[in-house]
A and B are shown apart, each in its own frame.
Chain A
């Protein structure tokens, strides 16, 4: 049995991240579980956490991580603490995307991570930085602003996110707050290419488009869209970033926006996390509404996996199908977050019928 498991792992290693690779890893972990091979199961789950989180399967990642953490607590000397602690941040970065996870639970998770970091001698920069991100995810911008000022005063250590990631989250803050000039100023070292990493500038470029456009830098916005979209277009992980490109295209070039929607709708349909899905549906509805009212008659090619979409549908029908989905998701998030941030956001970009 062990041999089969190693064969599967080898097979997975040769594959690019995505559903096919995850399926193989999951099969390997099932075999390891049924054979009682705990250490091997732990190792494979590490691969699952990694592959799932960066390919748009945050739930699978969370489940695998939970198992690892439980196993680690029982036998801490058997496993690598640093890797686990590092991955904890990824989990914390995604928990807000599930409206079923309560605010208290999220706070408890952050405190749990803080305690574990302290226990292993790391400082609180990651904790406050993630509090900053969580506050943004929950639409509490004033709270986020406070954490922004806190985390930057603490020295960086080896558990801190990289400089580019932190800078990029700051751009996101000013983008969400609608402070265009600040967003562009903070984005500078990223746009110039000085700061970069595996996810930056991918996630940043989509957040300078509207600020640039609104400041009259139309050509620059177009160029950054071209660059940014190319970086994210083949990657499920960036569904929210893609939605931000749609948001920009709604204003700048709606007809091109259709292609982006057609290309990615099937990803959104079976996305594991509600927040990204809501972003996509909402920006898509806003785009289609703009086209619909302008009299555009083009048909949208809906993916075969959408049962409802097997017949030809008008733009009006598609809007009517997806709009309530986006709105009810937003309502769920607002209920959990205790504010009206997402409903208001949807209200702003989606025209009232």
Chain B
């Protein structure tokens, strides 16, 4: 006996099946997909065999190519699914007229787990004309049956064989006396608890779900009644442009397959023709974060109804049906590998959608406008990435502005050749909107997602479209300044006001502006706003962090500048403050105006500002009571 003995791993088949059922596949229902897949592979294999045979015949007998074609064409694949029995005696039979298995094939494919009908290559990664891996696929049937019986006869040998497998890993093989038709039949007896998966309605639905696009008949037979389950014709898969002339049929298909009533769609096709599809336009607005769930068929079989990565990110207004023979599915065959091929396919499909939208812009602007109104965000997302698209579409995009929500073409007209003013945040927009509106000044709110990105890019697509970012401080440009005389008169008061506001790093300005009912306007830059929130936080945090924030303040302070409190001379109260001679009075009034502006703008006040308010209120009460006594 040698020192080292070699052993072989023992695999517990029961445990393995549990892994498949509970972890690899999303639902036991996939056994239908697996048996359909095996049948499809068998039919494909038989077709290829006929082609090869026909070709060698051609070589031998020098026949024409048409003869070759008809030779391989006059065979038609077919799958018949039969349900019989009731309750625990229920049996599901799947029969194909594909290539069948020889005795050697049975040993190779049915009896060694992990063996694929494709020889040699990497089990999961290789691209082949079969996507099935017979062994593993068949195992999935143990999720719904305690015994799998396979009857088969290979096209190559005449022998009819029976294989019976059990979930404990044992199986038997025997030759049959009777002669079976060429092909394979699989019998599954219902496992207690799996009755649901044997219900005729469920079986029919699953067959349609996975095999709707199979290019040969899938026939379901229950109690002697037979019907075709999958689509009768899929000729448009070769040439998706045909779909345009079959509108109602396509929309029906959309309802049957995607469960939603669509009213419009875009045919998809890559240049190679290996991937095609139908992009249904969603009839409702979608949330930006909603999942993009596309339904993808690989070599005619459903791989996934939740593939998110087959269309570009921006296409979130589309729910699509895709068929392909060039993408590589993951092990569970429910998603696709993110590789260069997928990248190329995704961008080609994106181009189809984009070009259709551009075509609409030229020939069917009403149709386009309808969809833009519903899916503006999605289209804006694309426009940010794609200059050409932006150039064509920008005029239809709408923006919130001081003139209301308007399409950009209208806003451009309103601006009459002057640059379009926009703010880059909602916050800045709110700070200035009422003043701008009162003065009929056109300002666009660029604070919503994609909006300022688009406004920033406009001048690249058309040099005549100038945009200018407006910060709140710049609103003052449109204010009316004071006369020289007013300036001189109010110089002293203004200095008192400045002094009062100085501790809050704010300065006072005197202007005339509309609406007159607005006494003051407080404006603050983004940096100054950050600084404010830092200062307020310093009061609330631990000493270590307040120390850190203090250091950071130094960096922000450099470019933050002062906030500005504009006093409106058109406002009667402000006019009276300016006439006041009592310095203390002016100071208190300025402080009150300041805290009032903060409150109106929902700016939280820090301790010193709260103290300030307190002081001024007391001051006014005191003063009011005093005045009352005097008169």
Contacts and interface: CB of A to CB of B under 8 A. Distances in A.
A67 B540 contact: yes
B602 A69 contact: no
Interface in A200-225: 223
Contact of B545 (A34, A66, A301): A66
A20 interface: yes
B449 A15 contact: yes
Contacts of A18: 449
B544 A304 contact: no
A100 B604 contact: no
A60 interface: yes
Interface stretch (A104-112, A121-129, A153-161, A162-170): A104-112
A69 B542 contact: yes
A63 B552 CA distance: 10
Interface string A27-38: 100110110000
Contacts of B288: 14-16
A101 B426 contact: no
B606 to A, nearest CB: 10
A98 interface: yes
A78 interface: no
A19 B423 CA distance: 13
Residue with the greatest number of chain A CB neighbours at <10 A, chosen from B534, B551, B604: B604
A27 B555 contact: no
A71 interface: yes
A71 B545 CA distance: 12
A275 B535 CA distance: 23
A51 B154 CA distance: 62
B540 A70 contact: yes
B427 interface: yes
A84 to B, nearest CB: 12
Contacts of B449: 15-16, 18, 20
A304 B533 CA distance: 28
B549 A226 contact: no
Contact of A16 (B289, B343, B447, B604): B289
A73 interface: yes
Given A14-B289, A23-B426, A26-B427, A71 B540 contact: yes
Nearest to B547: A105
Interface in A46-64: 59-60, 62-63
Contacts of B540: 66-67, 70-71
A207 to B, nearest CB: 20
A18 to B, nearest CB: 7
Interface in B521-545: 530, 533-534, 536-537, 540-542, 544-545
Interface in B576-612: 599, 602-605
A109 B533 contact: no
A16, A31, A67, A223: most-surrounded residue (chain B CB, <10 A) = A67
Nearest to B539: A70
A100 B289 contact: no
Nearest to A13: B289
B414 interface: no
B552 A101 contact: yes
Contacts of B157: none
Contacts of B533: 63
B287 A14 contact: yes
Contacts of B455: 304
A303 B456 contact: yes
Given A15-B288, A66-B541, A66-B545, A100 B554 contact: yes
Given A19-B425, A100-B554, A66 B546 contact: yes
Nearest to A31: B602
B469 A305 contact: yes
Nearest to A272: B530
Measured as residues with beta carbon below 8 angstroms from the partner, the interface class of chain A is 35 or more
B456 A266 contact: yes
B548 interface: yes
B340 interface: yes
B551 A30 contact: no
Contacts of B603: 30, 34
A69 B541 contact: yes
B350 to A, nearest CB: 13
Contacts of A171: none
A234 interface: yes
A95 interface: yes
Nearest to B604: A33
A98 B602 contact: no
Nearest to B457: A304
B255 interface: no
B48 interface: no
A288 to B, nearest CB: 19
A59 B602 contact: no
Nearest to A32: B604
Interface in B455-483: 455-457, 459-460, 467, 469
B326 interface: no
B469 A109 contact: no
Nearest to A233: B385
B313 interface: yes
B436 to A, nearest CB: 19
B467 A304 contact: yes
B426 A95 contact: no
B171 interface: no
Contacts of B604: 30, 33-34
Contacts of A24: 426
Nearest to A304: B456
Contact of A304 (B289, B313, B338, B469): B469
Contacts of A66: 537, 540-542, 545-546, 548-549
B620 interface: no
Interface string B308-347: 0000010000000000000000000000001010010000
B448 interface: yes
A351 to B, nearest CB: 30
Contacts of A95: 548
Contacts of B340: 223, 226
A335 interface: no
A59 B460 contact: no
A162 B167 CA distance: 38
B595 to A, nearest CB: 12
A100 B550 CA distance: 9
Contacts of A15: 288-289, 449
A67 B289 contact: no
Given A95-B548, A105-B547, A67 B541 contact: yes
Given A23-B426, A30-B602, A69-B541, A63 B534 contact: yes
Interface in B241-300: 287-289
Most A Cβ at <10 Å: residue of B469, B530, B541, B549 = B541
A71 B537 CA distance: 10
B591 to A, nearest CB: 18
A27 B602 contact: yes
Contacts of B536: 33
Contacts of B289: 14-16
Contacts of A87: none
Interface string B330-369: 0000000010100100000000000000000000000000
28 contacts: A14-B288, A20-B449, A30-B602, A30-B603, A34-B604, A59-B552, A63-B537, A66-B537, A66-B545, A66-B549, A67-B541, A69-B541, A70-B537, A71-B540, A95-B548, A99-B555, A100-B551, A100-B552, A100-B555, A101-B551, A101-B552, A102-B551, A105-B551, A108-B547, A109-B544, A223-B340, A234-B313, A266-B456
What are the 9 A-B residue pairs with the smallest beta carbon separation, nearest first?
A70-B541, A33-B604, A66-B541, A66-B545, A100-B555, A20-B449, A70-B540, A304-B456, A67-B537
Interface of B: 287-289, 313, 338, 340, 343, 424-427, 447-449, 455-457, 459-460, 467, 469, 530, 533-534, 536-537, 540-542, 544-549, 551-552, 554-556, 599, 602-605
Given A33-B604, A70-B541, 14 more contacts: A16-B288, A16-B289, A20-B447, A26-B427, A27-B426, A27-B427, A67-B541, A69-B541, A99-B555, A105-B548, A108-B544, A112-B544, A303-B456, A304-B467
